[in-house]
Amino acid sequence: MLTLLALALAIAPSDTLRRGPAPYWQQRVAYDISARLEEPLGVLRGTQHILYVNNSPDTLRSFALHLHLNAFRPGSAWSDADSVEGRRRFNDLKDPDYASNHVSNVRIMGQPVTAIYPLAPDSTIVRFQLPAPLAPGDSMVIETEWDARLSTVARRQGRRGRHYDFAQWYPKVVVYDQYGWEEHPLVPAGEFYGEFGSFRVQLDVPEDQVLGATGVPVCGDPGWSGANQDKSRAVEYGVDAYPGIAQQVSGPGPGQNGACAFAGMRATELSPGYKRVLWYAESVHHFALTMAPDYRYEGGRFQKTLVHVLYQPGDEKSWGGVAVKRTEIALNWLGQLFGPFAWPQITNVHRIDGGGTEFPMMIMDGSASQGLIVHELGHNYTMGILANNEWREGWLDEGFTSFQSSWFSEVVEKAKDTYAGNEANVLQLDLGGWSEPVSLISDKYSDFVVYNQMIYSKGELFLQQLRYVVGDSVMHEILQTYYARWQMKHVDGARFQAVAEEVSRMDLGPLFGQWLHGTPMFDYAVGKVQRRQQGDGWVTRVQVLRKGDGMMPVDVAVIAETDTAIVRTDGLAPKAWVEVTTRSEPKEVLIDPTVHAHDWNMLNNRYRFTLFGKRSPPVTNYFDTWFSEPESRDHVERGFMPAAWYNTAGGLVIGARARENYLGMFEENQLLLSYNLGGPGDDASVKEFDYFLRLKNPVWLRAPSQSQRLEVFRTEGRWGGLLGWDWSRRDHLTFGPTRSAGVSLRLVDIDNTAFLDPQQYIDVGIVELMTDWGIRNRVGKWQLGGKLSLGGGLVFNRDGLAAVQPDLDEFYFRGEIEGTARRELAKKLTFAGRLYGGVAVGAHTAAKQRQIYLSSSDPFAQLYNPFLRSEGSLLVLDDVPYQAPGGAGVRAADFRISGPALIAANVELERTMLVRQKSKLFSRVSLAAFGDAAQGIGGPDQLATGEALGFVADAGLGVRANHRIGKTSFMTRFDFPFYLSEPAYSRNDFAQDDAFAFRWLFSVQAAF
């Protein structure tokens, strides 16, 4: 016997291979539910009888039910997943606000069974051992009593007053499929998976409730007639959709109250003040239910499908008269796309929760927008009728319905093509390294946001790419075949792919494989190009280079003098030659002209036939206004701007700046040319030509979260350069700490001291290597930040590494550490604090330009700002007390005061006085009280006091306003430090005698 069994097992796999995929099967389920709503408790109490037929080839030994409502309570897997990602919803709810679903007295095959909660403490799955094995083809009956309560915080389900949105509310049979029992907890990422079945539902509710449900009312009054807003149209119940059901029902029929009963269902007594409504549905994998006494009803019909709309008081304008029409429009669109709606009715409900959720024959919507209705009704096709496992392959419902909704707005609403926006959004996620495979099991995504982006947006983009590859009419045929073949069945990616390949007669393996199971990057480039005249026309040979790991069919366009021709290549080979024939002389070759290959780098896609022939990135020039920088998907944006500023030695400086970017993240290059016309004083007047060049984030160095910089400059008496690398990443797309690190090598040498304030610079060159680390995070109500930079440099002059002043060393160490904390103390009242320490020393001291400054950032940080960097610049004039925040931040002090080491603390208390959200200027105005304190450690005597820098503190009041011009947000800050412990240090030269005096300063940046 054992030998025979072993032999059978050994044969089985090869036998399976020979037969191909196993034939499709699905279990059969029939529910009889009898339930009564207890008000005001809001508890629905019921009994349930399930007939279960095992159509699988397996003998079943256990059985499982979903108790989905148990997700919306403290301690559930859902609540814990929420908490991990910083959402507090159900973990804080108390009895009786949280949801629950309990089963009791469970009997299977007539015998009592014990409930097992395999995912405890989560109780959204309950499992039972069968009293006897259930063989293939056999059936059994499961009987339970249960109670169900919705949560007062709405999520898909919910209750508010006497309005109840019952979704996933009864003990629901877990799907048994080729993978076994799909026992999966309900968590935020991933939705539902249901076994198709029939439902006989007997509901006892207070007489004034107006109801909507999956299925059709076959006896009793759902309240539609009384709530009907369109008196010209009689309510249609649609009972004729199920001709066989009449024999199973006794009572007055739909729309009228009376002694309604299903044949064979246990009769219960109807309480006074209650009515009984019977519902029936076939071939659905869920039964949704909603009720509210003040629902408004409107009805309609599209072909054979009845439309019921239930909306709330106050919706007369937003839902009344329009929701029915929009539901019919959606039915029309989806019918054309897939085929006729498979169920007799659709109910569209204005639910308590925002957004929308789909259920068979019912959509619960937060608004009556056409887009939302098309999306949710689309789910009745992809999810409802074509029933995928939503936690295993969410893209099959969300990606699909997002895809068809976009196609709807493109075709029916004649709206601007939504493809471009979605493609660019997905590209940003791909480039940022956030993308994960579209077919990932829902709760395996790194967080809820990535899950959403992948299954909705990238899932949609995949289907757009399929449409691009096969063409519109074949795509249409694929959808129709998929729907005809798989309706009322369970679908998966492989089943959809098989249909798509059969209809298109194409091998779509690479497309499905890469887009669903990987995260490749696509990049095609023009290689060699040749052209020759042939007969009346021209033949252009284009070498298409595949530079990315991703492979997509890609178009090659040849733009000729009077005509354009496009040839599509499969994009598989690393190098492929394509021949394109045009009637006139070719001028330009463009790869992927419609941006459909998801090619991240469009800068290497163009070739122009010029005298020497050249590959050149497409560029658009614009006049720059400083505040906004346009970003484009397929070309470089390059902005030009004139500039002028002033300093003492150079006098008026005139210049022009060009800056460019690609995708807002690459080729962020900048060139600034300027000329100093010469200052007023003869001795110090300098006429010189300056430049600043920055190359940042070239496409060839693409790496997620990283940034690279090369700068060279000659600016106002200084020359040098910088080579820098930075890395910055948040742990998750929308939450968690942001960490950063960087390293830079900088050279700043002096070739003309006429521009320099000797209190900021001594005449030496400096090479500095600096590393830095940072972290920012929200912890409870605190917004915390920390920064550390450590490095050192060497000091030289024309004679080499020689000291230019007796106590100056060749080498110095420089380090800064800063911690900031900010939180709201009360509404409109914010506390902010900062601790700082900085040191810049050799054996004695560091050069003045590298010391730690009492009030401001150091001179190197100001090199980029023409209004700050040189003596006599606009913002360093005596009468213009500007503060460039940084250093020890003692804002009342002169920006030239520095020492070798300083520790400091700064605090601000800010009270919002005015908020004007829609305004660009003065969108928020606030008052602040502040105090700064610093302690200098060692160092030379200060000019102002003749003593080394010691303890300095200030305090005062300030006013701030927030503004936004174009894409630039900034603050104007006026501070009045009426107290300064060391008045000789005052930035205002009129207030250098008394500690208490009127002082002021301003800035366009926050103090810290």
Instruction: Give the Cα separation of 146 and 35 in Å (integer).
Output: 9
Number of residues that bind Zn ion (CB under 5 A): 1
Question: Can you name the residues that pair with 228 across neighbouring β-strands?
Answer: 297
Question: Could you tell me which of 768, 760, 820, 821 has the C-alpha nearest to residue 793?
Answer: 768
Complex with Zn ion: residue 398 or 460, whichever CB lies closer: 398
The CB-of-350 to Zn ion minimum distance in angstroms stands at 17
Complex with Zn ion: residue 189 or 526, whichever CB lies closer: 189
Name the DSSP class of 486: H
Rounded alpha-carbon distances, angstroms, from residue 715 to 42, 558, 755, 756: 75, 46, 10, 11
Q: Which of residues 251-280 bind Zn ion (CB under 5 A)?
A: none
Per-residue tokens: 77: 């897997």
Complex with Zn ion: residue 381 or 755, whichever CB lies closer: 381
Complex with Zn ion: residue 154 or 260, whichever CB lies closer: 154
The CB-of-229 to Zn ion minimum distance in angstroms stands at 28
Question: Can you name the residues that pair with 305 across neighbouring β-strands?
Answer: 302
Question: Can you name the residues that pair with 795 across neighbouring β-strands?
Answer: 766
The CB-of-379 to Zn ion minimum distance in angstroms stands at 6
Complex with Zn ion: residue 63 or 192, whichever CB lies closer: 192
Which range binds Zn ion by CB under 5 A, 128-136, 185-193, 393-401, 804-812?
393-401
Q: Which of residues 352-371 bind Zn ion (CB under 5 A)?
A: none
The CB-of-337 to Zn ion minimum distance in angstroms stands at 16
Per-residue tokens: 858: 């150091």
The CB-of-341 to Zn ion minimum distance in angstroms stands at 18
Question: Could you tell me which of 548, 648, 527, 644 has the C-alpha nearest to residue 599?
Answer: 548
The CB-of-395 to Zn ion minimum distance in angstroms stands at 11
Which range binds Zn ion by CB under 5 A, 83-91, 390-398, 658-666, 962-970?
390-398
Complex with Zn ion: residue 204 or 398, whichever CB lies closer: 398
Question: Could you tell me which of 948, 955, 943, 947 has the C-alpha nearest to residue 902?
Answer: 948
The CB-of-10 to Zn ion minimum distance in angstroms stands at 46
Which helix (DSSP H) or strand (DSSP E) does residue 3 occupy? helix 2-19
The CB-of-358 to Zn ion minimum distance in angstroms stands at 6
Instruction: Give the Cα separation of 747 and 744 in Å (integer).
Output: 10
SS3 state of residue 448: helix
Complex with Zn ion: residue 394 or 887, whichever CB lies closer: 394
CA dihedral 570, 576, 577, 578 (to 10 degrees): 20
Q: Which residue is nearest to Zn ion (CB)?
A: 398
Find tokens 């009322």 and name the residue.
488
Where does 828-900 show beta strands of DSSP type E? 829-841, 852-853, 898-899
The CB-of-460 to Zn ion minimum distance in angstroms stands at 11
Complex with Zn ion: residue 398 or 667, whichever CB lies closer: 398
Phi, psi of 435 (to 5 degrees): -65, 145
Reduce the secondary structure of 757-784 to three states and give it as a string: CCCCCCCCEEEEEEEEEEEEEEECCEEE
Complex with Zn ion: residue 152 or 401, whichever CB lies closer: 401
Instruction: Give the Cα separation of 779 and 657 in Å (integer).
Output: 42
Residue 358's contacts (CB-CB under 8 Å, 6 or more residues apart) are 364, 376, 377, 379, 380, 383, 384, 397
Is the sign of the CA dihedral 20, 23, 24, 29 positive or negative? negative
Instruction: Give the Cα separation of 389 and 193 in Å (integer).
Output: 5
Complex with Zn ion: residue 398 or 749, whichever CB lies closer: 398
- DSSP alpha helix (H) spans, 412-556: 419-431, 448-452, 459-470, 472-486, 493-504, 509-517
Complex with Zn ion: residue 353 or 398, whichever CB lies closer: 398
Instruction: Give the Cα separation of 507 and 225 in Å (integer).
Output: 55
Find tokens 């205002």 and name the residue.
988
Question: Can you name the residues that pair with 678 across neighbouring β-strands?
Answer: 651
Complex with Zn ion: residue 397 or 894, whichever CB lies closer: 397
The CB-of-401 to Zn ion minimum distance in angstroms stands at 5
Amino acid at position 737, single letter:
P
Residue 613, number of CB atoms within 10 A of its CB: 12
Which range binds Zn ion by CB under 5 A, 392-400, 604-612, 664-672, 986-994?
392-400
| CA–CA–CA angle 789, 790, 793 (5° rounding) | 125
Complex with Zn ion: residue 26 or 401, whichever CB lies closer: 401
| CA–CA–CA angle 910, 908, 961 (5° rounding) | 45
Complex with Zn ion: residue 177 or 398, whichever CB lies closer: 398
Complex with Zn ion: residue 364 or 551, whichever CB lies closer: 364
The CB-of-167 to Zn ion minimum distance in angstroms stands at 14
Q: Which of residues 161-220 bind Zn ion (CB under 5 A)?
A: none
The CB-of-403 to Zn ion minimum distance in angstroms stands at 11
SS3 state of residue 209: coil
Do 177 and 26 touch, CB atoms closer than 8 A?
yes
Name the DSSP class of 722: E
Rounded alpha-carbon distances, angstroms, from residue 505 to 494, 512, 836, 964: 16, 15, 68, 54
The CB-of-214 to Zn ion minimum distance in angstroms stands at 17
The CB-of-375 to Zn ion minimum distance in angstroms stands at 6
Which range binds Zn ion by CB under 5 A, 44-52, 391-399, 440-448, 903-911?
391-399
Per-residue tokens: 727: 């890395």
The CB-of-451 to Zn ion minimum distance in angstroms stands at 13
Side-chain-side CA neighbours of residue 617 (13 Å): 21
Complex with Zn ion: residue 242 or 395, whichever CB lies closer: 395
The CB-of-410 to Zn ion minimum distance in angstroms stands at 18
Q: Which of residues 394-453 bind Zn ion (CB under 5 A)?
A: 398
Would strands 180-181 and 176-177 be described as parallel, antiparallel, or unpaired?
A: antiparallel
The CB-of-674 to Zn ion minimum distance in angstroms stands at 55
Complex with Zn ion: residue 398 or 629, whichever CB lies closer: 398
828: left (phi over 0), alpha (psi -120 to 50) or beta: left
Do 750 and 763 touch, CB atoms closer than 8 A?
yes
Complex with Zn ion: residue 294 or 492, whichever CB lies closer: 492
The CB-of-367 to Zn ion minimum distance in angstroms stands at 14
Site string for Zn ion, 75-94 (x = CB under 5 A): --------------------
Question: Could you tell me which of 657, 655, 766 has the C-alpha nearest to residue 716?
Answer: 655
Which helix (DSSP H) or strand (DSSP E) does residue 278 occupy? strand 274-284
Q: Which residues bind Zn ion (CB under 5 A)?
A: 398
